């Protein structure tokens, strides 16, 4: 992530606290946002048995459309709303076979409360378009982190390919 006067030029920056939070992939590997590179991220708390699960298809389409330009969807399964499969292996299998997911997936996390994953503890400080921060409302809440480290929040029912999200992502990526 970098600080930028223009969405198409980047300059070195100081490390954002979000970049250094330890993350664990669905395969059990340790990583962080910094390790994933200087990208625009769309972070989503996902759940396999949620009525919003068809958003996986649009998330994967966005990964394929923008992935080569410095963008990545990051999926964080959560059973906090009691709609996720019981094991990371089952989640991985479901995402692969049902939706053909190629974007990075992470181990199951809590997104709310005192045991919320540190990444979500930070992300939920960001307000949505109505100015409300705080708890994740439901599965498939979306957070876009632009290269300048700004966090933009979109509630669960907003589709990943909505004009607001697409415009934000496109304006944050190099022309390509």
pLDDT for the residue numbered 11 = 39
Mean pLDDT, rounded, for 56-60 = 98
- Distance from C-alpha of 137 to C-alpha of 150, rounded to nearest angstrom: 21
HSE-CB for 134 with a 13 A CA cutoff = 4
Cα–Cα separations (whole angstroms), residue 91 to 9, 105, 168: 38, 9, 29
**Is the confidence at residue 80, as pLDDT, over 90?**
yes
Catalytic residue of the set 50, 111, 169, 173: 50
pTM higher than 0.85: yes
CATH architecture for the domain at 17-172 = 3-Layer(aba) Sandwich (3.40)
| 95 in active site | no
Res. 174 pLDDT band, cuts 50 70 90: confident
User: What pLDDT, in 10s, does the model give residues 30-44?
Assistant: 999 999 999 999 999
**Is the confidence at residue 129, as pLDDT, over 70?**
yes
Res. 8 pLDDT band, cuts 50 70 90: very low
Mean pLDDT, rounded, for 11-24 = 75
pLDDT for the residue numbered 176 = 62
C-alpha dihedral (93, 97, 102, 105), degrees to nearest 10: -30
């Amino acid at each position: 992530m970098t600080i930028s006067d223009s969405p198409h030029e980047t300059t070195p920056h100081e490390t954002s606290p979000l970049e250094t939070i330890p993350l664990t992939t669905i395969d059990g590997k340790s990583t962080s946002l910094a390790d994933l590179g200087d990208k625009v991220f769309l972070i989503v708390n996902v759940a396999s048995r949620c009525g919003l699960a068809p958003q996986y298809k649009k998330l994967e389409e966005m990964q394929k459309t923008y992935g080569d330009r410095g963008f990545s969807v990051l999926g964080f399964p959560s059973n906090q709303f009691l709609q996720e499969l019981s094991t990371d292996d089952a989640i991985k299998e479901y995402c692969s076979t049902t939706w053909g997911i190629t974007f990075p997936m992470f181990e199951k996390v809590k997104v709310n409360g005192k045991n919320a994953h540190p990444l979500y503890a930070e992300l939920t400080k960001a307000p949505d378009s109505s100015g409300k921060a705080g708890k994740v409302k439901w599965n498939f809440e979306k957070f876009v982190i632009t290269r300048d480290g700004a966090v933009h929040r979109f509630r669960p029912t907003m589709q990943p390919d909505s004009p607001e999200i697409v415009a934000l992502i496109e304006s944050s990526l190099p022309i390509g």
